[in-house]
Amino acid sequence: MAKSEATRRRMLLAEETRCPENIRLLQEAVALRLDAARQLGYKTHAEFVLEENMAKTPDSVLEFEKDLRQRLDVLADSEITEIEQLKQADKKAANETYTGLYNWDFRYYSNLVKERKHKVNEERVKQYFSVEPVTRGILDIYQDILKLRFDKVENPPVWHPDVTMYEVWEADNSAFLGHIYLDLFPRQGKYGHACVNPIQNGSENSDGSRVYPVAAILANFPKPTSTTPALLTHDDVITLLHEMGHLLHHICIQTKWAHFGLDSVQHDFIECPSQLFENWGWEPSVLQKFAAHYKTGERIPKELVAQLVAAKNEGAGLFNLRQVFFGMFDMAIHNTEDANVDVEATYKALREQITRFSGGSGPGCGAATFGHMMGGYDAGYYGYLWAKSFSADMYATRFTKDGITNARTGMDYRREILCPGGSIDASVGLERFLGRAPSSAAFLESIGVANSQ
C-alpha cells in the first residue's frame, strides 16, 4: 500500500488516463444503442434491455438503487469519519494541510481501517488454504447440499496439464449429469480473471436421451512453488465458491431445449446462485472442515476464523455505494433519450456525489476502462446488488433457518432455482423456494444497515 498521497494520486491518474479513445467509442455505442432501441419502439436502451429481466422497467431499477443508496449513506457516515480521522492524523504528522478525501484515498484507508481494527494477517491465513484440500472441501459442500457426487477423471483429455476434470453424478448413482473442468492457475495468454465458460448446454434428444452439459472454471490463483503448494487467500476461497456456484448451476439445469441453459438465465439473476454459495465460506463450522495448515495439518484456529468473520463487513457502506455508483452511471447513460449524453462528465459527477470521495483536478476518466459497459452489462450493472439481495434472502430464510447443510433444503433449491435454467422467470422460482415474494431486508441486515438506523 502506498503511504504517500502523491504516489497514490499518480497511480490512480495512470490508471484513469489509459485508453482515452475508449470514451469516444463508448459515447458512440451509447448513441447506437439508443437508435436501435428507438427503431424497435422503445424510448431508451434500458427500457429495451430490462423488459426481459426480473426488474422489467428502468423505474424499478432506479427505485432499487435510490432506496439502497439512502440506506447505505447512513452506514457510510461512520466509515467516512474513521477514514477522515486517519488521513487527518497522517497530514498532521507530515505537517501538511488536510484538504479532504479523494478517490485515490479510498482503497488505502479502507484497508488501513480493516488492518488496524481486525488485525487480519493475510499471510497467516493463506497457510490454511492449500488449493487441493480447499477444492475438495468446496466440492464436498456442493456434494452434501445438492446430493451430487464428483469423480475425478484420471489422465483426462484436457488442454493443459494444470487442468483437472470431474464427472458429476447424482449422489445415489441414479444418473450421470455432466462434466466439469477446473483450470485454476495462470499462464501466458490465458484470460486474466475468474469466470465460468459453458462448453455445452444440456438438452433432450428426440428419443428422450440426454445431451450432457459441460463447463469449465477459469481462474488465476497462485501456482505452487518448489517449496510450497498453491496457497489461497480467503478472498480466493470465496471466489472459488462463487465460480463453483455458476458451474453447478450449469450442470444442474434440466431443460428440454439447449437454449434455456446458463446463458439464457435473466441477467439480473445470473449472479444469485453463485453469490448464495459465498455464504458457506464465512461459516466457521464449514471452514473447520477443510482449512488446514499445509505443513502441520492443524485445523484453522477458531480465533483466526473469528477475525475473518468480524472483518467481513468492514467498509460495507462505502464499498456498496461504489457498486450503486456504477449501476447509476450505467442507467444514466442508457436510460436517457439524449443520444449526446456526456459520458465522461456524467461518470465524474456521479462518482463524486455517490461515493463521497472527490475526484480532484486533473485529466482522466474511469469510464474509459469500465469494461462492463462494452462487455454485455449495459443497462445491467445493477444486477450485481439486485441478485445479492435475493441470495441473502434465500440464505437467511431457508438455509440459516433449516440448517446450512440441510440436504432437503438443498434439493428444494436445486429443483426451484437451478433446474429451470432460463426456462422460467426467476421471480417464479424465488417465490416457490421462499414461500413468498423476495425481499432485500436480509441483505441489508447482513451488512449491518438494519443496526445502523
Q: Catalytic residues, which ones?
A: 243
Contact 443, 392 (CB under 8 A): yes
Task: Locate 205 and state its grid cell.
Answer: 434428444
Neighbours of 176 (CB within 10 A): 13
Nearest to 249 by CA among 157, 178, 151, 167: 178
CA 426 to chain centre: 18
Query: Exposed e or buried b for every residue in 14-26, given b needs 16+ CB within 10 A?
Result: eebeeeeebbeeb
For residue 210, which phi and psi values (nearest 5 degrees)?
Answer: -105, 145
3-state SS class at 98: coil
CA distances from 181 to 125, 156, 236, 274, 449 (A): 27, 10, 18, 17, 39
3-state SS class at 428: helix
Contact 28, 349 (CB under 8 A): no
Residue whose cell numbers read 492449500: 130
Contact 448, 439 (CB under 8 A): no
CA 418 – CA 389 distance, rounded (Å)? 17
**Strand bridging mode 176-183 / 214-218:** parallel
CA 268 – CA 101 distance, rounded (Å)? 33
